[in-house]
C-alpha cells in the first residue's frame, strides 16, 4: 500500500491548499476567489467560491492512488451515466484550455498533484437511514450496474479492481486488517477465520460478467445529494472500479454494518434494486458475504487512515463490533 500523503498533518494540508489555490489560475477565476477545505479522505476536497461564477468543487488528489488515465476514466463513466442512464452526476468544469484534469506542482516537494473541478450541486445528504432512502439507493445502483454491463468503454479506460487480492493480498490497497486499531491476538483469530471464509466463498462465487464489473464502490447515503424537489445526484466516484456488483450493497451500510436496523435497510435496498434490475436468488443469498467483505476492508482502512475524523471516532470499538459481526456471520454458515 502506498502511504497516504494527506495524513501528514497541517504542513502537508497547507501545501495542498496552496496547490488548490494555484490551480484556480487555470480556470480564469476572479482574483478574489476563495478555496475552503471541506474534507480529507483519499483526496482533499475544497469549496470554491468565485464572485463571478459562484460555487464549485475542487478535488486535489493524493499522490500515487490513481494515474491520470484512471482519473480520466472515472470522469468518462460519470459523463456516460449522466447522458445514458439517467443518473445525475456532477459535471466536470474544464480549465480555460479545455483540460479536465489540471496538474499543479507542490512548491516544496516538487510533487505534481492532479486536480479536478466539478459543478456545485445543491442538495443535502439524506438525513436519516430510512427504508425509503435505501430503496432509492438500491434503484439508482441497479441503473448504474445495468449501464456498466452494456457500456462500450473507451479503449484507454483503466480503473483498479476491488477483488480479494486487492483487498487482503500482499499489496492490500488500504493496508492490512491485521494492523487495524485494537487488533490483538483474540481479534486476529476471529477475523482470520472470517478472512479465510471470505476468500473461499468469493472464489466459489466467481467473477463472471453477470456478477463482476464496473461499480461505484462507495454507494453510501453520504454520497447522495437530494435537492428540494426530490432530485438525487450521485457523487464521489473516486473509488469506482471493477468488483462484484454486490460489493455496492456491502458499501451501502459502511461503518454501521453491526447495527440492528441493517437487515431491514438491506431488504429495502433490494426492493429498490428490483425496480430497475434483478438479482438471482443465489446472488441474494451472498449479500452478507459482501457486507463482511466491506467490513473487513474498513478495519484495514481505519488502521491506515487514523488521522481521518471517522477513524478516530470509531477506533477499537469498530474492531470489537467487527468480531461480533464475524462470529454471527460464520455461525450461520455452519
Rounded to whole angstroms, the Cα distance separating 296 from 323 reads: 10
According to the model, what pLDDT value does residue 196 have?
A: 98
Picking from 4-13, 146-155, 281-290, 301-310, which range would have the lowest pLDDT averaged per residue?
4-13
According to the model, what pLDDT value does residue 7 have?
A: 59
Helical residues (DSSP H) of 253-308, grouped into ranges: 262-276, 281-284, 287-304
Query: For residue 273, how many C-alpha atoms fall within 13 Å in the half-sphere facing its CB?
Result: 23
Q: What is the mean pLDDT of residues 122-131?
A: 89
Quote the percentage of the chain above a pLDDT of 70.
Answer: 97
Architecture of domain 5-119: 2-Layer Sandwich (3.30)
Residue 205, Cβ neighbours under 10 Å: how many? 17
Domain ranges of the chain: 5-119, 131-332
Q: What is the mean pLDDT of residues 152-176?
A: 97
Mean pLDDT of all residues in the chain?
A: 94
Q: Report which of 209, 288, 276, 195 is spatially closest to residue 243, judged by C-alpha positions.
A: 209
Say if strands 102-105 and 112-119 run parallel, antiparallel, or are unpaired: antiparallel
Q: In whole angstroms, how far apart are CA 83 and each of 86, 146, 147, 300?
A: 7, 14, 11, 36
Within this chain, domains 5-119 and 131-332 share the same CATH topology: no
Picking from 86-100, 288-302, 304-318, which range would have the lowest pLDDT averaged per residue?
304-318
According to the model, what pLDDT value does residue 108 have?
A: 83
Query: With 70 as the cut, is the pLDDT of residue 284 above it?
Result: yes
Answer for the pair 121, 91: CB distance below 8 angstroms, yes or no: no
Q: What is the mean pLDDT of residues 109-121?
A: 94
Query: What does the angle CA 141 – CA 116 – CA 311 come to, to the nearest 5 degrees?
Result: 65
Q: What is the mean pLDDT of residues 11-38?
A: 93
According to the model, what pLDDT value does residue 1 have?
A: 43
- Here the cell at position 293 is 467483505
According to the model, what pLDDT value does residue 9 have?
A: 57
**What is the per-residue pLDDT across 239-261, written as a single tens digit (0 to 9) for each?**
999 999 999 999 999 999 999 99
Query: With 90 as the cut, is the pLDDT of residue 95 above it?
Result: yes
- Here the cell at position 320 is 470489537
Higher pLDDT, 5 or 133: 133
According to the model, what pLDDT value does residue 2 have?
A: 45
The contacts of residue 78 (CB under 8 Å, 6+ apart) are 89, 90, 92, 237
Higher pLDDT, 106 or 215: 215
According to the model, what pLDDT value does residue 307 have?
A: 82
User: CATH fold of 131-332, please?
Assistant: Aminoglycoside 3'-phosphotransferase; Chain: A, domain 2 (3.90.1200)
Rounded to whole angstroms, the Cα distance separating 88 from 91 reads: 9
Query: With 80 as the cut, is the pLDDT of residue 8 above it?
Result: no
Answer for the pair 290, 246: CB distance below 8 angstroms, yes or no: yes
pTM of the model: 0.94
Q: What is the mean pLDDT of residues 211-225?
A: 96
Q: What is the mean pLDDT of residues 295-308?
A: 94
**What is the per-residue pLDDT across 33-48, written as a single tens digit (0 to 9) for each?**
999 999 888 899 999 9
Amino acid at each position: 500500500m502506498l502511504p497516504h500523503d494527506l495524513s501528514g498533518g497541517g504542513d502537508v494540508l497547507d501545501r495542498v491548499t496552496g496547490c488548490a489555490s494555484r490551480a484556480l489560475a487555470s480556470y480564469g477565476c476572479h482574483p478574489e476567489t476563495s478555496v475552503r477545505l471541506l474534507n480529507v479522505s483519499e483526496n482533499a476536497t475544497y469549496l470554491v467560491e468565485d464572485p463571478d461564477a459562484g460555487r464549485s468543487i475542487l478535488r486535489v488528489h493524493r499522490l500515487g492512488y490513481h494515474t491520470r488515465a484512471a482519473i480520466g476514466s472515472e470522469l468518462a463513466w460519470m459523463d456516460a451515466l449522466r447522458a445514458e442512464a439517467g443518473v445525475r452526476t456532477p459535471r466536470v468544469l474544464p480549465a480555460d484550455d479545455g483540460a479536465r484534469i489540471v496538474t499543479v506542482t507542490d512548491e516544496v516537494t516538487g510533487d505534481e498533484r492532479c486536480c479536478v473541478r466539478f459543478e456545485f450541486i445543491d442538495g443535502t445528504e439524506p438525513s436519516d437511514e430510512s427504508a425509503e432512502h435505501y430503496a432509492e439507493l438500491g434503484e439508482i445502483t441497479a441503473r448504474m450496474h445495468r449501464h456498466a454491463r452494456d457500456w462500450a468503454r473507451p479503449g484507454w479506460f483503466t480503473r483498479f479492481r476491488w477483488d480479494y487480492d486487492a483487498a487482503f493480498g500482499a499489496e492490500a490497497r488500504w493496508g492490512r486488517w491485521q494492523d487495524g486499531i485494537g487488533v490483538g491476538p483474540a481479534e486476529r483469530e476471529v477475523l482470520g477465520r472470517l478472512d479465510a471464509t471470505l476468500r473461499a466463498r468469493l472464489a466459489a462465487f466467481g467473477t463472471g460478467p453477470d456478477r463482476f464489473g464496473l461499480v461505484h464502490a462507495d454507494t453510501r447515503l453520504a454520497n447522495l445529494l437530494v435537492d428540494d424537489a426530490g432530485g438525487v445526484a450521485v457523487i464521489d466516484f473516486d473509488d469506482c472500479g471493477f468488483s462484484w456488483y454486490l460489493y455496492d450493497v456491502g458499501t451501502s451500510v459502511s461503518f454501521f454494518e453491526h447495527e440492528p436496523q441493517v437487515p431491514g435497510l438491506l431488504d429495502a435496498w433490494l426492493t429498490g434494486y428490483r425496480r430497475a434490475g434483478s438479482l438471482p436468488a443465489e446472488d441474494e443469498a451472498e449479500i452478507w458475504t459482501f457486507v463482511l467483505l466491506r467490513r473487513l476492508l474498513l478495519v484495514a482502512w481505519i488502521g491506515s487512515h487514523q488521522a481521518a475524523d471517522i477513524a478516530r471516532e470509531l477506533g477499537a470499538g469498530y474492531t470489537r463490533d467487527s468480531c461480533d459481526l464475524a462470529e454471527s456471520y460464520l455461525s450461520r454458515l455452519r
